[in-house]
């Protein structure tokens, strides 16, 4: 057995009435590390499937007698719709194989076999099979951990993130979340709060980078009437308003250094002094902070060292989506299921679309993946939709820069593409509601429908 071949806890079924061909293929796949069963007829193949209903991939010869490969494929699928069937065919019948793909086959192989092509195709199908199993395990685990139920993952790195997050939730220590934009830092902070003893008290998110510099202190710690021009009444501030709960300080590195000194006192002494107040007040809050900056830069350039050690008792780093690509399938299935319920119609993701997603860098991470799928689903007006790579390619190009679409070739953007981007963005913002999207775009609903049809038809 090859030491480099993957050891899969699942089976491959080879069906071919040519015993030499079937045995040769069996021996090759076994050297690659797979558990392989062989059948020389459709009847034998169905008997093997009955003994082992969890076979993940079946390689079926197209031309067999008395039952051909297409008929056998339908019989296998009637017992297990998720079984991946790859048809094997000679060069003269490729057109028939392509037609079979339209009828439910996953792929086809031509005889004589290119061993590298066989290796790659089986590995790809096994990867999807394994990921589907992990998704099922995930769904079961979510039922046991409802506070973290919004997180969809199968990757080991995210499993470790969730383990640390559950540990954090069981304590009252300060937590620092690190990760790129779109990785879910606020969602994780909220989950930690909801799984903690403070769950019944407020969770108050604050974007430190969005607060005006001159108002940061009063917004966080409160203000007394007359403290400055415009302060006509007492205002409690964010920390006092979150008493007993959790304050989430997003983009903590954008907080001015002079305000960091006062935040440090809140964390050390459990008390704060509203702007204009001569006396401090006691406050009981937990602080969860977050930043999209690398840890080294955050410590060296953005935070006071003493404050860093106070807010970073436990550091949890959320990995970018491009470093946990095995989660893309789980996330895509999750988002597609949500959209199908929202739009009240069937939506599926073709394998060609999935492979395109698996190779996309996702600079906007999970948020970008959701927006791409939302745009593809919203732009289709059919009762039943299968999202393909052709549906996704324009949206993937448009999301290279999350703010403004840019041309991959460096050429000027066409008005058509800019218009398509505007429609897709409006539909995403309005969660697929075409009436609201038309109003947002300043066009009539009929005009929006016409443009959607033009976009779908490629005109």
Q: Which carries the bigger pLDDT value, residue 112 or residue 132? A: 112
Q: Considering only 48-52, 116-120, 152-156, 433-437, which range has the smallest mean pLDDT?
A: 433-437
**pLDDT of 304:** 92
Q: For 44, how many CA atoms within 13 A lie in the half-sphere containing its CB?
A: 15
- 203-207 vs 246-250, strand pairing mode: parallel
What CA–CA distance (Å, rounded) separates 388 from 344? 20
Percent of the chain with pLDDT over 70: 81
What CA–CA distance (Å, rounded) separates 306 from 196? 26
Q: Is the pLDDT of residue 78 over 70?
A: yes
Q: Is the pLDDT of residue 144 over 50?
A: no
What CA–CA distance (Å, rounded) separates 345 from 340? 5
Average pLDDT taken over every residue of the chain: 81
Q: For 114, how many CA atoms within 13 A lie in the half-sphere containing its CB?
A: 8
Backbone angles phi, psi at 176, to 5 degrees: -115, 120
CATH topology of domain 150-319: Rossmann fold (3.40.50)
**pLDDT of 406:** 41
pLDDT tens figures, 82-119 = 888 998 887 656 677 677 777 788 888 888 888 888 88
Q: How confident is the model at residue 397 (pLDDT cuts 50, 70, 90)?
A: low
Q: What is the mean pLDDT of residues 147-168?
A: 87
Domain boundaries of the chain, sorted by first residue: 11-134, 150-319, 322-457
Question: Is domain 11-134 in CATH 3.30.1360.30, yes or no?
Answer: no
Q: For 91, how many CA atoms within 13 A lie in the half-sphere containing its CB?
A: 3
DSSP 8-state secondary structure symbol assigned to residue 170: T
Q: Which carries the bigger pLDDT value, residue 428 or residue 110? A: 110
Q: Is the pLDDT of residue 47 over 50?
A: yes
pTM of this prediction? Answer: 0.61
- 271-272 vs 281-282, strand pairing mode: antiparallel
Among 24-28, 173-177, 334-338, 418-422, the range of highest mean pLDDT: 173-177
Question: Is domain 322-457 in CATH 3.40.50.800, yes or no?
Answer: no
Nearest of 108, 84, 112, 114 to residue 94 by alpha carbon:
108
Q: Would you say the CATH fold of 322-457 matches that of 11-134?
A: no
Q: Which carries the bigger pLDDT value, residue 266 or residue 188? A: 188
Of the chain, the end-to-end C-alpha distance in Å amounts to 54
pLDDT tens figures, 206-263 = 998 888 877 788 888 887 765 555 555 667 788 888 889 999 999 999 998 888 988 9
**pLDDT of 324:** 92
What CA–CA distance (Å, rounded) separates 279 from 189? 31
């Amino acid at each position: 057995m090859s030491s480099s071949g993957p050891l899969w806890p699942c089976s491959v079924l080879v069906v071919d009435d040519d015993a030499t061909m079937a045995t040769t293929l069996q021996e090759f796949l076994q050297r690659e590390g797979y558990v392989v069963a062989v059948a020389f007829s459709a009847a034998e193949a169905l008997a093997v499937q009955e003994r082992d209903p969890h076979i993940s991939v079946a390689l079926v010869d197209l031309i067999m007698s008395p039952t051909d490969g297409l008929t056998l494929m339908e019989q296998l699928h009637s017992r297990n719709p998720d079984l991946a069937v790859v048809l094997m065919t000679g060069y003269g019948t490729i057109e028939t194989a392509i037609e079979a793909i339209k009828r439910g086959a996953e792929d086809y192989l031509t005889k004589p076999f290119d061993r590298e092509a066989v290796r790659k195709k089986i590995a790809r199908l096994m990867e999807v099979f394994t990921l589907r199993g992990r998704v099922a395990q995930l769904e079961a685990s979510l039922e046991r951990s409802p506070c973290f139920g919004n997180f969809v993952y199968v990757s080991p790195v995210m499993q470790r993130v969730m383990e640390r997050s559950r540990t954090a939730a069981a304590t009252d220590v300060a937590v620092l979340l690190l990760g790129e934009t779109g990785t879910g830092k606020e969602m994780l902070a909220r989950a930690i709060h909801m799984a903690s003893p403070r769950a019944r008290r407020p969770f108050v998110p604050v974007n430190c980078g969005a607060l005006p510099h001159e108002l940061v202190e009063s917004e966080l710690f409160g203000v007394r009437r007359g403290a400055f021009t415009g302060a006509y009444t007492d205002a409690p501030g964010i920390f006092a308003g979150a008493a007993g709960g959790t304050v989430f300080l997003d983009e903590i590195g954008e907080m001015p250094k002079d305000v960091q000194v006062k935040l440090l006192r809140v964390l050390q002494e459990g008390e704060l002094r509203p702007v204009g107040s001569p006396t401090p007040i006691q406050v009981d809050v937990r602080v969860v902070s977050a930043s999209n900056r690398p840890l080294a830069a955050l410590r060296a350039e953005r935070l006071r060292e003493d404050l860093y050690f106070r807010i970073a008792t436990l550091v949890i780093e959320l990995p970018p989506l491009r470093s946990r690509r095995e989660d893309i399938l789980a996330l895509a299935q999750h988002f597609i299921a949500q959209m199908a319920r929202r739009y009240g119609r069937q939506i599926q993701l073709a394998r060609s679309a999935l492979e395109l997603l698996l190779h996309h860098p996702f600079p906007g991470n999970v948020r970008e993946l959701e927006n791409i799928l939302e745009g593809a689903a919203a732009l289709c007006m059919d009762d039943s939709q299968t999202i393909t790579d052709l549906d996704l390619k324009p949206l993937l190009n448009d999301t290279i820069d999350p703010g403004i679409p840019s041309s991959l070739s460096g050429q000027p953007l066409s008005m058509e593409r800019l218009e398509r981007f505007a429609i897709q963005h409006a539909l995403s913002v309005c969660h697929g509601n075409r009436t609201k999207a038309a109003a947002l775009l300043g066009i009539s609903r009929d005009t929006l429908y016409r443009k959607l049809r033009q976009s779908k038809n490629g005109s």
